[in-house]
Structure 1
Protein backbone atom coordinates (compact mmCIF):
# COMPACT_ATOMS: atom_id res chain seq x y z
CA UNK A 1 0.00 0.00 0.00
CA UNK A 2 2.80 2.42 0.86
CA UNK A 3 4.64 1.88 -2.41
CA UNK A 4 1.36 2.15 -4.34
CA UNK A 5 0.66 5.52 -2.70
CA UNK A 6 4.14 6.77 -3.58
CA UNK A 7 3.87 5.60 -7.20
CA UNK A 8 0.49 7.23 -7.79
CA UNK A 9 1.69 10.40 -6.05
CA UNK A 10 4.39 10.64 -8.74
CA UNK A 11 1.64 10.63 -11.39
CA UNK A 12 -0.15 13.47 -9.58
CA UNK A 13 3.18 15.32 -9.36
CA UNK A 14 3.65 15.13 -13.14
CA UNK A 15 0.06 16.30 -13.73
CA UNK A 16 0.45 19.18 -11.27
CA UNK A 17 3.74 20.31 -12.80
CA UNK A 18 2.34 20.04 -16.34
CA UNK A 19 -0.61 22.21 -15.34
CA UNK A 20 1.76 24.70 -13.67
CA UNK A 21 3.91 24.73 -16.80
CA UNK A 22 0.86 25.37 -18.98
CA UNK A 23 -0.22 28.27 -16.78
CA UNK A 24 3.29 29.74 -16.85
CA UNK A 25 3.80 29.64 -20.59
CA UNK A 26 0.29 30.92 -21.39
CA UNK A 27 0.25 33.47 -18.54
CA UNK A 28 -3.20 32.12 -17.68
CA UNK A 29 -3.51 31.34 -14.00
CA UNK A 30 -7.20 30.58 -13.79
CA UNK A 31 -6.50 26.93 -12.91
CA UNK A 32 -4.23 27.74 -9.97
CA UNK A 33 -6.72 26.14 -7.55
CA UNK A 34 -6.66 22.88 -9.51
CA UNK A 35 -2.86 23.01 -9.70
CA UNK A 36 -2.48 23.56 -5.96
CA UNK A 37 -4.95 20.84 -4.98
CA UNK A 38 -3.35 18.28 -7.29
CA UNK A 39 0.08 19.06 -5.85
CA UNK A 40 -0.97 19.14 -2.20
CA UNK A 41 -3.61 16.40 -2.06
CA UNK A 42 -2.11 14.30 -4.83
CA UNK A 43 1.65 14.63 -4.73
CA UNK A 44 2.47 15.77 -1.18
CA UNK A 45 -0.23 14.10 0.93
CA UNK A 46 -0.05 10.79 -0.89
CA UNK A 47 3.73 10.71 -0.75
CA UNK A 48 3.68 11.33 3.00
CA UNK A 49 0.98 8.71 3.51
CA UNK A 50 3.01 6.27 1.44
CA UNK A 51 6.08 6.92 3.55
CA UNK A 52 4.10 6.40 6.76
CA UNK A 53 2.57 3.19 5.41
CA UNK A 54 6.01 1.95 4.39
CA UNK A 55 7.74 2.86 7.66
CA UNK A 56 4.94 1.44 9.78
CA UNK A 57 3.72 -1.74 8.04
CA UNK A 58 0.94 -2.34 10.56
CA UNK A 59 -0.86 0.68 9.09
CA UNK A 60 -0.74 -0.64 5.54
CA UNK A 61 -1.96 -4.09 6.60
CA UNK A 62 -5.15 -2.54 7.97
CA UNK A 63 -8.25 -2.40 5.77
CA UNK A 64 -8.27 1.32 6.61
CA UNK A 65 -5.21 1.79 4.39
CA UNK A 66 -7.04 0.31 1.40
CA UNK A 67 -10.15 2.38 2.10
CA UNK A 68 -7.98 5.49 2.37
CA UNK A 69 -6.31 4.72 -0.96
CA UNK A 70 -9.53 4.21 -2.92
CA UNK A 71 -11.46 7.11 -1.39
CA UNK A 72 -8.54 9.45 -2.02
CA UNK A 73 -7.91 8.28 -5.58
CA UNK A 74 -11.57 8.39 -6.58
CA UNK A 75 -12.37 11.62 -4.76
CA UNK A 76 -9.43 13.76 -5.88
CA UNK A 77 -9.88 13.29 -9.65
CA UNK A 78 -13.66 13.78 -9.35
CA UNK A 79 -13.16 16.97 -7.35
CA UNK A 80 -10.47 18.32 -9.72
CA UNK A 81 -12.47 17.55 -12.87
CA UNK A 82 -15.45 19.31 -11.33
CA UNK A 83 -13.34 22.32 -10.35
CA UNK A 84 -11.67 22.46 -13.77
CA UNK A 85 -15.03 22.61 -15.55
CA UNK A 86 -16.58 24.97 -12.98
CA UNK A 87 -13.76 27.46 -13.60
CA UNK A 88 -14.59 27.24 -17.31
CA UNK A 89 -18.22 28.09 -16.57
CA UNK A 90 -19.73 24.61 -16.71
CA UNK A 91 -21.72 24.52 -13.50
CA UNK A 92 -23.32 21.17 -14.31
CA UNK A 93 -20.05 19.23 -14.14
CA UNK A 94 -18.97 21.56 -11.32
CA UNK A 95 -21.58 19.82 -9.16
CA UNK A 96 -19.10 16.92 -8.91
CA UNK A 97 -16.96 18.95 -6.51
CA UNK A 98 -18.87 18.13 -3.30
CA UNK A 99 -18.86 14.41 -4.09
CA UNK A 100 -15.12 14.34 -4.69
CA UNK A 101 -14.41 16.60 -1.73
CA UNK A 102 -16.48 14.39 0.57
CA UNK A 103 -14.59 11.30 -0.60
CA UNK A 104 -11.24 13.02 0.03
CA UNK A 105 -12.38 14.21 3.46
CA UNK A 106 -13.46 10.67 4.36
CA UNK A 107 -10.12 9.39 3.04
CA UNK A 108 -8.19 11.78 5.28
CA UNK A 109 -10.32 10.86 8.30
CA UNK A 110 -9.75 7.16 7.51
CA UNK A 111 -6.01 7.78 7.31
CA UNK A 112 -6.03 9.57 10.68
CA UNK A 113 -8.04 6.74 12.27
CA UNK A 114 -5.63 4.22 10.83
CA UNK A 115 -2.65 6.07 12.29
CA UNK A 116 -4.24 6.40 15.73
CA UNK A 117 -5.52 2.83 15.82
CA UNK A 118 -2.58 0.95 14.29
CA UNK A 119 0.53 3.00 14.92
CA UNK A 120 1.91 1.70 18.19
Structure 2
Protein backbone atom coordinates (compact mmCIF):
# COMPACT_ATOMS: atom_id res chain seq x y z
CA UNK A 1 0.00 0.00 0.00
CA UNK A 2 2.77 2.42 0.92
CA UNK A 3 4.65 1.90 -2.32
CA UNK A 4 1.72 2.24 -4.70
CA UNK A 5 -0.88 4.47 -3.06
CA UNK A 6 0.55 6.66 -0.31
CA UNK A 7 2.41 9.86 -1.18
CA UNK A 8 6.14 9.63 -0.54
CA UNK A 9 5.77 5.94 0.41
CA UNK A 10 4.86 6.98 3.95
CA UNK A 11 3.71 4.47 6.54
CA UNK A 12 -0.08 3.97 6.64
CA UNK A 13 -2.05 5.73 9.35
CA UNK A 14 -3.84 3.45 11.82
CA UNK A 15 -7.25 3.94 10.18
CA UNK A 16 -5.76 3.18 6.75
CA UNK A 17 -4.14 0.01 8.08
CA UNK A 18 -7.41 -0.96 9.76
CA UNK A 19 -9.26 -0.59 6.46
CA UNK A 20 -6.67 -2.74 4.67
CA UNK A 21 -6.82 -5.36 7.43
CA UNK A 22 -10.58 -5.42 7.22
CA UNK A 23 -10.61 -5.84 3.45
CA UNK A 24 -7.90 -8.51 3.45
CA UNK A 25 -9.49 -10.41 6.32
CA UNK A 26 -12.95 -10.25 4.79
CA UNK A 27 -11.71 -11.50 1.43
CA UNK A 28 -9.75 -14.35 3.03
CA UNK A 29 -12.71 -15.26 5.22
CA UNK A 30 -15.10 -15.33 2.28
CA UNK A 31 -12.98 -17.48 -0.02
CA UNK A 32 -12.02 -19.92 2.74
CA UNK A 33 -15.61 -20.50 3.89
CA UNK A 34 -15.97 -23.82 1.99
CA UNK A 35 -12.85 -25.13 3.73
CA UNK A 36 -14.29 -24.07 7.08
CA UNK A 37 -17.55 -25.90 6.31
CA UNK A 38 -15.62 -29.09 5.48
CA UNK A 39 -13.39 -28.72 8.57
CA UNK A 40 -16.42 -28.30 10.81
CA UNK A 41 -18.07 -31.39 9.38
CA UNK A 42 -14.88 -33.43 9.79
CA UNK A 43 -14.62 -32.32 13.41
CA UNK A 44 -18.25 -33.20 14.07
CA UNK A 45 -17.81 -36.60 12.43
CA UNK A 46 -14.74 -37.26 14.58
CA UNK A 47 -16.87 -36.65 17.68
CA UNK A 48 -19.52 -39.02 16.37
CA UNK A 49 -19.54 -42.44 18.01
CA UNK A 50 -20.29 -44.14 14.69
CA UNK A 51 -18.36 -42.73 11.69
CA UNK A 52 -19.23 -44.31 8.36
CA UNK A 53 -16.44 -46.88 7.66
CA UNK A 54 -17.38 -47.02 3.95
CA UNK A 55 -16.66 -43.31 3.51
CA UNK A 56 -13.29 -42.93 1.73
CA UNK A 57 -12.88 -39.61 3.49
CA UNK A 58 -13.14 -41.28 6.91
CA UNK A 59 -9.44 -42.10 6.80
CA UNK A 60 -8.70 -38.46 7.61
CA UNK A 61 -6.24 -38.02 4.76
CA UNK A 62 -5.66 -34.61 3.18
CA UNK A 63 -7.08 -36.01 -0.05
CA UNK A 64 -10.48 -36.20 1.61
CA UNK A 65 -10.95 -32.41 1.45
CA UNK A 66 -11.67 -32.22 -2.31
CA UNK A 67 -13.72 -35.41 -2.02
CA UNK A 68 -15.80 -33.98 0.80
CA UNK A 69 -16.31 -30.68 -1.04
CA UNK A 70 -17.56 -32.54 -4.12
CA UNK A 71 -19.76 -34.75 -1.97
CA UNK A 72 -21.38 -31.77 -0.22
CA UNK A 73 -21.85 -29.90 -3.50
CA UNK A 74 -23.45 -32.93 -5.19
CA UNK A 75 -25.69 -33.99 -2.31
CA UNK A 76 -26.65 -30.64 -0.79
CA UNK A 77 -25.73 -28.06 -3.43
CA UNK A 78 -22.84 -25.65 -3.83
CA UNK A 79 -24.72 -23.09 -1.73
CA UNK A 80 -24.16 -25.31 1.31
CA UNK A 81 -20.39 -24.83 1.02
CA UNK A 82 -20.93 -21.10 1.58
CA UNK A 83 -23.30 -21.44 4.53
CA UNK A 84 -22.37 -18.88 7.16
CA UNK A 85 -20.35 -16.68 4.80
CA UNK A 86 -21.85 -13.38 6.00
CA UNK A 87 -21.17 -13.76 9.74
CA UNK A 88 -17.76 -15.35 9.05
CA UNK A 89 -16.71 -12.56 6.68
CA UNK A 90 -18.02 -9.90 9.05
CA UNK A 91 -16.24 -11.38 12.06
CA UNK A 92 -12.90 -11.83 10.28
CA UNK A 93 -13.14 -8.33 8.73
CA UNK A 94 -13.68 -6.84 12.15
CA UNK A 95 -10.76 -8.81 13.57
CA UNK A 96 -8.48 -7.73 10.72
CA UNK A 97 -9.40 -4.09 11.25
CA UNK A 98 -8.77 -4.26 14.99
CA UNK A 99 -5.52 -6.20 14.76
CA UNK A 100 -3.89 -4.22 11.95
CA UNK A 101 -5.23 -0.89 13.24
CA UNK A 102 -3.88 -1.63 16.72
CA UNK A 103 -0.55 -2.77 15.27
CA UNK A 104 -0.10 0.47 13.34
CA UNK A 105 -1.16 2.52 16.37
CA UNK A 106 1.50 0.85 18.51
CA UNK A 107 4.12 1.20 15.76
CA UNK A 108 3.28 4.91 15.44
CA UNK A 109 3.81 5.36 19.19
CA UNK A 110 7.11 3.45 19.06
CA UNK A 111 8.32 5.53 16.09
CA UNK A 112 7.52 8.77 17.97
CA UNK A 113 9.40 7.55 21.05
CA UNK A 114 12.41 6.52 19.00
CA UNK A 115 12.41 9.92 17.28
CA UNK A 116 12.26 11.71 20.64
CA UNK A 117 15.28 9.80 21.99
CA UNK A 118 17.55 10.74 19.10
Superposed pair shares fold, TM > 0.5: no
TM-score by length of 1: 0.35
TM-score by length of 2: 0.35
For the pair shown, the structure with the greater C-alpha radius of gyration is 2
- Greater relative contact order (Cα 8 A, min sep 6): structure 1 or 2? 2
Bigger helix share: 1
